[in-house]
Structure 1
């Protein structure tokens, strides 16, 4: 069983200050993290708000395997746990798993090593075996040319996924990448360079859709 990273996206109710441990939302969030971290197969967790949309929190959990997370979901404790968490979540959340390389992805998604993380999701109608190699070529170019670049991790989602560009009622594949930066500004500055223009085709060619945002993660 290969290690895997759970990727959850949670839209929070307005005013849900999970960063304040004394607030109602903060207590619920801390309880959530405590419960998850007590599970068999838990390795570590990272969470943070999206820079572009601060009402959305992204939670990443490293597990010994997808099966360990599924065992937690099947446990009787999961129902009350989920209900408690959903009391601060507005609207549907999403949850997938990815086999990231390298694992753990800590260097790219922990605030101690990467103050901000570029989060990339690339959607495909079907698996493209060459895409991960292209992603790694781009990362090599970033490391060689970009000031403020820290670390990266990437991999395919385990589950099939829906997207409007894949087609109504159809599911496809998605590749996710996490690129750590010193700041959002450092990433934006790199986007203005020749090295970016010469290499960005490596990830833009192939996907039917591509989404990017930044998240400031902290590690539990």
Structure 2
């Protein structure tokens, strides 16, 4: 299997235009698709629980490849082409997951952001998440953000929100309780992402 990519995750306050049609920012992705190290497709979508929040998720061969795009003269035009999607602030994260993020290909993607309450618990939290990842047949992957090693992003792939909730009900309660005793849940929602491979 190829090297696990660096995944860029943008969580944004959406514009009304983006909520109506996520493809309005396709020109930005067409430009990004020409960048060295970009791995198609880009995944975009609206949060199921609250459509004023949206997601843009894409993969790079490495963080250096994404940085090279951000440092290039063409990056300004990429940002300009993305503007119609934004209705307010956004946050960007980069993460190298424990396995390939095949979860993004499922009908519903769970996005969970955790922050360790105490960095000394990192190994235990990773152990809990590793066990959950194995049980999910790697349909649930996780990793610390490159920006902050105490912040962890987890994405899971599901047939539906209901399928996720049914699965959670079967998890050992003490494991889930222990996880949230050690880490703060900063963001936990679902999105229906659609792939865009570019022209």
Query: Higher mean Cα deviation, 204-213 or 94-103?
Result: 204-213
- CA offsets 1:124-183 (integer angstroms, 9 cap, x no match): 25541332221021234456xxxxxx81211110002xxxxxxxxxxx721111111111
Is 1:138 aligned to 2:132, yes or no?
Answer: yes
1:35 aligns with 31
Is contact 1:159–1:173 with CA below 8 Å preserved after alignment? Answer: no
Match of 2:110 among 113, 118, 122: 118
- Mind listing any 5+ residue stretches in structure 1 that lack a counterpart? 144-149, 161-171
- Which ranges in structure 2 are unaligned for 5 or more consecutive residues? none
Q: Which residue of 1 aligns with 2:144?
A: 156
Find 2:21's aligned residue among 18, 43, 46: 18
Aligned-residue Cα RMSD (Å) equals 2.3
Give the distance between the partners of 1:98 and 1:69, measured in 2 at CA.
12
Q: Is the 8 A contact 1:5 1:98 kept in 2?
A: yes
Instruction: Report runs of 4+ in structure 1 exceeding 4 Å deviation.
Output: none
Q: What TM-score does the superposition give when structure 1 sets the normalisation length?
A: 0.77
Asked if 1:81 corresponds to 2:65, the answer is no
Q: Give the CA deviation at 1:115.
A: 1.2
Give the structure 2 partner of residue 206 of structure 1.
182
Aligned in 2, Cα 1:43/1:142: closer, same or farther, shift over 3 Å?
closer
For 1:96, the equivalent position in structure 2 comes to 93
Q: TM-score, normalised by structure 2?
A: 0.84
In structure 1, C-alpha distance between the alignment counterparts of 2:173 and 2:4, rounded to whole Å: 35
More helix by share: 2
Bigger relative contact order, structure 1 or 2 (CA pairs below 8 A, ≥6 apart)? 2
The count of corresponding residues between Structure 1 and Structure 2 is: 190
1:189 matched residue in structure 2:
166
Report the Cα distance in structure 2 between the residues aligned to 1:109 and 1:213, rounded to whole angstroms: 14
User: Which one has a bigger Cα radius of gyration?
Assistant: 1
1:87 & 1:119 partners in 2: Cα distance? 23
Against the structure 1 CA distance between its residues 191 and 42, is the aligned structure 2 distance closer, same or farther, given a 3 Å change threshold?
Answer: same
